[in-house]
Chain A
Amino acid sequence: MEQYEKLYLYKRIVQSKLFIDKHFADNIDLDNIADQACFSKFHFIRLFKSIYGRSPHNYLISVRIEKAKKFLTEGVSVLDVSLRVGFDSPTSFAATFKKMVGKTPSAYRGQAMIKKLAITANPLSAVPNCFAQTHGWTK
């Protein structure tokens, strides 16, 4: 019986994590998620942290920053990225990004663009030679 209760709790916490994954760009209210999962906010945060090693808020921020890295790699402007991943302002986005990634969004985007251009100009530069040769990719 205890096992089923534990499984039920797991399912609810996992659902709330998946909710954050899906709605990261929205103005997510963690109180609301806790309510939907039928937990008190305190209980919800405690369980979430025990499973994922960080609070729901910190997890939300990390999802936003990971999505931001993806958009920046695709060449989206820093301003657009900050809006697309749910930050209130480009300033708070840039500060959070730098704190977590260690470089500014512009620098990250610039480096990603350089890498992308290098691969476009010479795709073989991204492939270890042994694999390139077995595929017959020689030029």
Chain B
Amino acid sequence: MITKLSHLCVYVLNQDSAYDFYVNKLGFAVHTDAPMGEGARWLTVTPPEQPELEITLFLVAEGGMFDKETVATMTSLIKKGTFGAAVFTCNDLMATYQELLAKGVVFKKVPTKEFYGYEALFLDDSGNWFSLAQVN
């Protein structure tokens, strides 16, 4: 029986920039930031009220699982906004939306009433999109 989700991968194009986005703009906490040698880095962050869920900010770079062609393809797809990575929830969407806007976060959908509550869509610094929802 599966019980919980512990790690979630988000593919990013620059880990320094992703750190700034997820920590300083979204307000996530750094769980682990460990150098893995040869420029590689294991970087995970957690949502403020979900410290047990590690979001791994995976760098798309050559080596390991990615060859040059895969890196080029992944980079292009991420930049195009192909990947919707996850749904985040908040208590007050309008306040969260205003705060993230003030911090320079780009939204591709403004807060909109849906049958389950309110939803907006924002992009991270790489181009991944996320849903931000206030559920009824």
**Residues of chain A whose beta carbon lies under 8 Å from any beta carbon of chain B:** 6-7, 10-11, 13-15, 17-18, 51-53, 66, 70, 119-120, 123-124, 126-128, 131, 134-137
**Within 8 Å CB of A135, what residues of B?**
36, 40, 63-65
**Within 8 Å CB of B37, what residues of A?**
123, 137
Cross-chain contact B40 with A14 (CB below 8 angstroms): no
Asked if B32 is at the interface (CB within 8 A of a chain A CB), the reply is: yes
User: In angstroms, how far is the closest chain A Cβ from the Cβ of B48?
Assistant: 8
Q: For residues 89 through 116 of chain B, which have their beta carbon under 8 Å from a beta carbon of chain A?
A: 91-92, 94-95, 98-99, 102
CA distance A17 to B102 in the complex (A): 11
CA distance A135 to B37 in the complex (A): 11
Q: List 28 A-B contacts (CB under 8 A).
A: A6-B94, A10-B95, A10-B98, A13-B95, A14-B98, A15-B102, A17-B95, A17-B99, A18-B102, A51-B92, A51-B95, A52-B91, A52-B92, A53-B91, A70-B29, A119-B32, A120-B34, A123-B35, A124-B36, A126-B42, A127-B34, A131-B7, A135-B64, A135-B65, A136-B63, A136-B64, A137-B37, A137-B64
Q: For residues 58 through 105 of chain B, which have their beta carbon under 8 Å from a beta carbon of chain A?
A: 63-65, 91-92, 94-95, 98-99, 102
Q: Tally chain B residues at the interface, Cβ within 8 Å.
A: 21
Cross-chain contact A14 with B42 (CB below 8 angstroms): no
User: In angstroms, how far is the closest chain B Cβ from the Cβ of A50?
Assistant: 8
CA distance A120 to B64 in the complex (A): 21
Asked if B56 is at the interface (CB within 8 A of a chain A CB), the reply is: yes
**Within 8 Å CB of B7, what residues of A?**
128, 131
**Residues of chain B whose beta carbon lies under 8 Å from any beta carbon of chain A:** 7, 9, 29, 32, 34-37, 40, 42, 56, 63-65, 91-92, 94-95, 98-99, 102
Contacts between chains A and B (CB distance < 8 A), count: 57
User: In angstroms, how far is the closest chain B Cβ from the Cβ of A116?
Assistant: 9
**Within 8 Å CB of B95, what residues of A?**
10, 13-14, 17, 51-52
Across the A-B interface, give the 4 residue pairs with the lowest CB-CB distance, nearest first. Answer: A135-B64, A134-B65, A14-B98, A136-B64
Beyond A6-B94, A135-B64, A137-B64, 9 additional pairs, beta carbon < 8 A? A15-B102, A51-B92, A52-B95, A123-B34, A123-B35, A126-B34, A131-B7, A131-B9, A136-B64
CA distance A123 to B32 in the complex (A): 10
**Within 8 Å CB of A11, what residues of B?**
98
User: In angstroms, how far is the closest chain B Cβ from the Cβ of A121?
Assistant: 11
Cross-chain contact A7 with B94 (CB below 8 angstroms): yes
